[in-house]
A and B are shown apart, each in its own frame.
Chain A
Amino acid sequence: MSEVTQLIHHYLRHNKKFPHMLCAGCGHGILLGSLIRSVHNAGLSKDEVVVISGIGCSGRLAVYVDFNTIHTTHGRALTFATGIKMANPELVVIVLMGDGDALSIGGNHLIHAARRNIGVNAIILNNEIYGMTGGQCSSTTPQDCFSMTTPFGQLEKSFDIVDMALASGANFVARTTAFHAQLTDEVIGQALANPGFNLIEFFSPCHTQYGRKNKYKNAIAMYQDLKSKTMDVDKYKALEESKREGVMPIGVFLKRDDPALETRYAGVRAKLQEAKQKKAEAAKAAQAKPAKAKEPKPDKGAKGKETKQDKGDKA
């Protein structure tokens, strides 16, 4: 197992300040390790991978890894990713977003990236709160849970990211948690190999902002909670509906290999180029023919010009 940590150190930028800025017990670091292992296992070089992140705690992750990285504006990580993938489809694009980043500020980008089926691997690090800005409630804060801005409990319903991705038409949808690092490795590996839009929801406990206000004694209590309430998707589907409350299904929800947008685009380009070539060949063939057929044409043009000139004179 010693290779695991050595490998992670190989992919980290050691000129950055370590240990990283994430709080003690934050699950984001676990995802970072998982991401590095999955990229290594997929046999990708550092130059082939682009990691794009938005703003928030998750935004810092791109800074620490030695791939091609962009730290973009709030909520727009997917738009940058779309541009990069369309410009150079050979790159493997991974987008790291927080829940506020992906669902609130960039909610439309997420839906439409899934609809377009652009070949991007989006990982949403869901900590159920705006952690970096002081613990405001986000669109994924569960109902009746407390945050800095909902001292009497959240009144609104929360987003189910997986359901939304399934409805928007993503190619690959999965959910993992910070407690299930091996599953996360496996799922990211599958996503990297799958074409089209792949979405992974990663539950990452935030004790500093969320746990303290919701009666979790420490970060470990949050991990124990994740351990006890999660269940494999297949088992979850077999459960009776009455027993499903409070259970969080994890694993791969959907996997299909519809062609991605960039491959369809490449197909259209190839078709158009072929048509252009055929046209050029046809024009060449027409030029090579004896010029008799073309002779009357200039006469017609000359006549037309004459008539126009006549009209001009009349005016």
Chain B
Amino acid sequence: MAATKKGLTTVAIYPDWCKGCGLCAAFCPKKVFEMDPVAGKARVVNEEECVNCGFCELHCPDFAIVLSPKNTDTDSSNNPTAKAKP
């Protein structure tokens, strides 16, 4: 199951809201995150490894992480047309 889900998710961090507690980096099962020692905030380093378990999104105390399904080519071509219709 996990192998099939890899690479289907986009992981985004709002740097303005991140306080750098490091929960996401410590508990991510696939080590997607890394703490930036200069900025003191988390950053995404291994997005391709993400299996969309949702731990970081549920446990981020500052609501700073967003997981969204990655748009494949077919999706991206569909989306603009869907937006253009209305």
- Chain B interface residue count, Cβ-Cβ cutoff 8 angstroms: 26
Given contacts A2-B66, A29-B62, A33-B58, contact A19 B17 (CB under 8 A): yes
On whether the beta carbons of A19 and B62 are closer than 8 Å, the reply is yes
Q: Which of A184-224 contact B (CB under 8 A)?
A: 185, 218-220, 223-224
How many angstroms from the CA of A20 to the CA of B64 in the assembled complex? 11
On whether the beta carbons of B22 and A220 are closer than 8 Å, the reply is yes
Task: List 19 additional A-B contacts (Cβ < 8 Å) besides A178-B61, A219-B21, A224-B26.
Answer: A1-B9, A1-B54, A2-B68, A4-B67, A5-B65, A5-B67, A8-B63, A19-B16, A19-B19, A20-B62, A22-B61, A24-B20, A24-B61, A26-B21, A30-B58, A33-B58, A178-B59, A182-B58, A185-B58
Interface centre among A1, A24, A223 (most CB of B within 10 A): A1
Q: Which of B18-36 contact A (CB under 8 A)?
A: 18-23, 26-27
Given contacts A19-B17, A24-B21, A25-B21, contact A223 B26 (CB under 8 A): yes
Interface residues of A (CB under 8 A from B): 1-2, 4-6, 8-9, 12, 18-20, 22-30, 33-34, 178-179, 181-182, 185, 218-220, 223-224
CB-CB under 8 A from A185, the residues of chain B are 58
On whether the beta carbons of A1 and B61 are closer than 8 Å, the reply is no
List the 7 closest pairs (A to B, CB-CB), nearest first.
Answer: A29-B61, A2-B68, A25-B21, A24-B19, A24-B21, A181-B58, A1-B67
Interface centre among B27, B59, B63, B65 (most CB of A within 10 A): B63
CB-CB under 8 A from B68, the residues of chain A are 1-2
CB-CB under 8 A from B23, the residues of chain A are 25, 219-220, 223
B69 contacts chain A at the CB level, 8 A cutoff = yes
Q: List 17 A-B contacts (CB under 8 A).
A: A1-B9, A2-B67, A2-B68, A4-B54, A5-B57, A5-B66, A19-B19, A23-B19, A24-B21, A26-B61, A29-B61, A29-B62, A29-B63, A181-B59, A219-B21, A220-B21, A223-B23
Interface residues of B (CB under 8 A from A): 9, 16-23, 26-27, 52, 54, 57-69
CB-CB under 8 A from A1, the residues of chain B are 9, 52, 54, 57, 67-68
How many angstroms from the CA of A18 to the CA of B62 in the assembled complex? 9
Minimum C-beta distance from A274 to chain B (A): 50
Q: Across the two chains, which residue of chain B brings its CB closest to A9?
A: B63
CB-CB under 8 A from A4, the residues of chain B are 54, 57-58, 67
On whether the beta carbons of A218 and B22 are closer than 8 Å, the reply is yes
Minimum C-beta distance from B46 to chain A (A): 17
Minimum C-beta distance from B83 to chain A (A): 17
Minimum C-beta distance from B6 to chain A (A): 15
Q: Across the two chains, which residue of chain A brings its CB closest to B64?
A: A19
Q: Across the two chains, which residue of chain A brings its CB closest to B53?
A: A1
CB-CB under 8 A from A22, the residues of chain B are 61
How many angstroms from the CA of A12 to the CA of B19 in the assembled complex? 18
CB-CB under 8 A from B22, the residues of chain A are 25, 218-220
CB-CB under 8 A from B69, the residues of chain A are 2
CB-CB under 8 A from A26, the residues of chain B are 21, 61
